Each structure stands twice: as C-alpha cells, then as structure tokens.
C-alpha cells in the first residue's frame, strides 16, 4: 500500500486517476498514523514551497515523514513541488525550512531563450543513471511545469538532467524525486509510477 500525502490545493486527482488506471494500491493520507501504516510514500504537490511546508506543518506530518523516510528507510517519491520539499530550503520562500532529507537548495530557473517562466511543456531528458523504470543513457521526453529547480550539493545523486542542465530527477538512498510530472508524461511517466509501486 502506497500513501499519497494530500498537500491540499494540488492536482492530487491527476495522480490518483493515474494510480487507479495502473491498478496500484494506494490511499490518500493526511494523518501521522496513516503514514506509519503504509509501505511507501508519494509526496505530490503544486503551488509554492512556503504553502507546501505550511500545509505539512498544519497536518503535523513533518516529524513523521522525516522519521519514516530517514530512520525506517521507507521509499518516498516526491513529484514537482513534492521533490523540492525534500530539500533544505528554496529561493521561492526565503526563511522557510524544507524537510531536509536531501542536502541541497531549490533555486530559480535560469533565464533562457529555450523556455518561458514558468517553464511549461515537454523537454528531452537525459538519463545519467538508472532511475526506477528508466535505464542509463536513454533520453525521454517528460512534461514539466515549474519556475524553480533543485540543486543538490552532491551532483552524483542527479539521475536525470534536462535543458540548460536543469535537475530533472534525484535518487538518494530510498529517496526518489522527479521535477517533471510522471502522471502527465504518458507511457514513459506511467512506467515510473508502476516501477515505484512494485
């Protein structure tokens, strides 16, 4: 059973529609106890870094997430803002502390002629190291929609890169993060969710 953490004003239904379609067992969780009862966690989310952390704080989930992931080594998949929340802090919401499960910061996207901001659309993404269903050296198109991206201190944990050297995904121990939206990236994205759930 996978616990999908409900961050409130997000596109939660997009993700649960996809999990339903894939026949993956999940439940939407908002309580500490529910989080402890599931085997794996997905932290989805859109919106701002500050709002996301505020919501986790209101639900009183921060300590539990850290315990379950860091100490009990429960696999977690952060998607978009959900992945950013796994880091220390973000330029988007100065002064707000993140979950600090992965060392590094969330920073503004560099300006580029290649995209507008928010950076919206499909982008070619290079797989540097195996990531769930994806194999090293492959390139795949994924759907992105964001204005910030993560910069881990240890570049070795970056498993996928996209345009302008933007971090597309990280893998650190039992922690997985995708900046793109697997639930919105058609077959290749759905494969990632399937692989995480297996």
Partner 1 sequence: MRKRLIPCIFLKEGMIVRSEDFLTHQVIGNPINQVARFSDWAVDEIVYIDISQNNEYDNRRSDHKVKVPNDKFSLLSDISKHVFVPFTFGGGVRNIQDIAKILQSGADKVVLNTGMYIDDNLLLNAVNIFGSQALVACVDYKDGFVYFKHGKFKSQYTVSRWCVIIQNQGIGEIILNDISRDGKGDGYDIDTIREIVELTTVPVVALGGAGDYFDFGECFNEANPSAVAAGNIFHFKEHSYFYAKKELEREGVDIRIEHIGLKEGIGEIK
Q: Total residues contacting partner 1 (rule CB under 8 A)? A: 40
Should residue 55 be labelled a site residue for partner 1 when binding is judged by CB under 8 A?
Answer: no
Instruction: Kindly state whether residue 114 participates in binding partner 1, applying the rule CB under 8 A.
Output: yes
Stretch of 16-24, 36-44, 56-64, 65-73 lying at the interface with partner 1 (CB under 8 A): 16-24
Closer Cβ to partner 1, 16 or 159, answer by number: 16
In the bound complex, what is the minimum distance in angstroms from residue 198's beta carbon to partner 1? 19
Under the criterion CB under 8 A, does residue 108 sit at the interface with partner 1? no
Is 20 among the residues that bind partner 1 (CB under 8 A)? Answer: yes
Distances (CA, A) of 59 to 40, 53, 161, 169: 19, 10, 33, 27
Sign (positive/negative) of CA torsion 171, 176, 180, 186? positive
> How far is Cα 163 from Cα 85, in angstroms, rounded to an integer?
22
d(CA 56, CA 60): 6
Please identify, using beta-carbon distances, which residue of 60 and 124 lies nearer to partner 1. 124
Q: Which is nearer to partner 1, 9 or 137 (CB)?
A: 9
CB distance 15 to 44 below 8 Å: yes
- In the complex with partner 1, which residue's Cβ is closer, 13 or 58? 13
**Residue 18 contacts partner 1 per CB under 8 A:** yes
Dihedral sign from CA coordinates of 89, 33, 59, 25: positive
92 in active site: no
Whether residue 57 lies in the annotated active site: no
Of the candidates 21, 77, 9, which has an alpha carbon nearest to the alpha carbon of residue 45?
A: 9
Q: Are the C-beta atoms of 7 and 14 separated by less than 8 Å?
A: no
- Strand-pairing partners, residue 60, are none
Q: Under the rule (CB under 8 A), what is the footprint of partner 1?
A: 9-14, 17-18, 20-21, 46-48, 51, 114-124, 141, 143-147, 163, 181, 183-187, 189-190
């Amino acid at each position: 059973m996978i616990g999908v953490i409900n961050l409130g004003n997000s596109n939660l239904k997009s993700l649960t529609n996809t999990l339903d379609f894939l026949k993956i067992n999940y439940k939407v969780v908002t309580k500490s106890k529910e989080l402890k009862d599931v085997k794996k966690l997905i932290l989805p989310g859109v919106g701002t870094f500050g709002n996301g952390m505020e919501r986790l704080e209101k639900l009183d989930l921060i300590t539990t997430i850290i315990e379950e992931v860091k100490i009990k080594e429960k696999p977690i998949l952060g998607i978009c803002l959900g992945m950013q929340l796994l880091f220390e802090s973000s330029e988007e919401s100065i002064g707000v502390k993140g979950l600090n499960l992965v060392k590094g910061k969330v920073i503004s996207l560099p300006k580029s002629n290649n995209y507008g901001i928010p950076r919206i659309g499909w982008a070619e993404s290079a797989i540097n190291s195996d990531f769930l269903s994806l194999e090293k050296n492959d390139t795949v198109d994924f759907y992105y929609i964001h204005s910030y991206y993560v910069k881990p201190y240890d570049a070795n944990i970056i498993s996928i890169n996209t345009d302008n050297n933007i971090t597309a995904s990280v893998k650190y121990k039992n922690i997985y993060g995708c900046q793109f939206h697997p639930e919105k990236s058609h077959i290749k994205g759905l494969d990632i969710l399937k692989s995480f759930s297996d």
